């Protein structure tokens, strides 16, 4: 069966194209020369030639663009994790330094020491729990992103546009 525009009022139902093709032809790059002619401040005739390289995404190319690939997106989870690990490490150093100081110098202020230990332990636990949460939630949302992308790209590959009337549809 020939694929045709589903619009019953379409003037030319066979003038159809895949989104993939429409997108590819809509993104064009080229050189456009511009010649200018005029008079300068002394009244002499001057001319100039400029060649500009241009890449243009036509409106139709943007509308038929494929969905964004989530694996090409940079994730913020890794830098956050690196920061967290450094933070945990520093907090741990702080705790051990406090313990060391207590064992070496007996007359350190008792309350100050307890506050330091509680704060440092609290930070360490906080960072640890947050890191685990970030890992679990980012890997879960990444899997969902990839699944959604696979569904979208399959839809996109089956999407057609009618160049006569503008109807878009998905071919099953």
Q: How far is the CB of 58 from Zn ion (least distance, A)?
A: 19
Q: How far is the CB of 26 from Zn ion (least distance, A)?
A: 18
Stretch that binds Zn ion, among 39-47, 90-98, 101-109, 163-171 (CB under 5 A): 163-171
For strands 27-39 and 159-162, give the pairing.
unpaired
- Position among 66, 90, 165, 168 found at the interface with Zn ion (CB under 5 A): 165
Q: Is 47 left (phi over 0), alpha (psi -120 to 50) or beta?
A: beta
- Position among 63, 164, 168, 169 found at the interface with Zn ion (CB under 5 A): 164
Site string for Zn ion, 2-41 (x = CB under 5 A): ---x-x--x-------------------------------
In the block, tokens 């960072």 appear at: 127
Output Rg (C-alpha) for the chain, integer angstroms: 32
3-state secondary structure of 33: strand
Q: How far is the CB of 168 from Zn ion (least distance, A)?
A: 10
- 167 part of the interface to Zn ion, by CB under 5 A: yes
Stretch that binds Zn ion, among 80-88, 123-131, 139-147, 160-168 (CB under 5 A): 160-168
Distance CA 67, CA 51 (A): 33
Q: How far is the CB of 65 from Zn ion (least distance, A)?
A: 21
Distance CA 20, CA 164 (A): 17
Cβ partners under 8 Å of residue 18, min gap 6? 157, 159, 160, 161
**Nearer of residues 17 and 138 to Zn ion, judged by Cβ:** 17
Q: Which residues pair with 51 in a beta bridge?
A: 33
- 162 part of the interface to Zn ion, by CB under 5 A: yes
Q: What is the binding site for Zn ion (CB under 5 A)?
A: 5, 7, 10, 162, 164-165, 167
């Amino acid at each position: 069966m020939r694929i045709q525009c589903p619009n019953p009022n379409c003037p030319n139902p066979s003038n159809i194209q895949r989104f993939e093709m429409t997108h590819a032809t809509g993104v064009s790059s080229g050189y456009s020369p511009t010649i200018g002619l005029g008079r300068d401040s002394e009244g002499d005739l001057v001319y100039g030639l400029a060649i500009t390289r241009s890449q243009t995404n036509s409106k139709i190319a943007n509308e038929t663009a494929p969905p964004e690939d989530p694996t090409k997106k940079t994730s913020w989870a890794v830098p956050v994790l690196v920061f967290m690990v450094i933070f945990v490490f520093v907090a741990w150093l702080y705790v051990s330094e406090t313990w060391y100081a207590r064992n070496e110098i007996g007359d350190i202020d008792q309350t100050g020491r307890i506050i330091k230990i509680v704060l440092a332990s609290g930070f360490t636990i906080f960072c640890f729990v947050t890191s685990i949460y970030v890992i679990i939630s980012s890997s879960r949302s990444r899997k969902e992103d990839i699944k959604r992308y696979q569904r979208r790209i399959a839809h996109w590959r089956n999407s057609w546009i009618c160049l006569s009337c503008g109807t878009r549809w998905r071919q099953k």
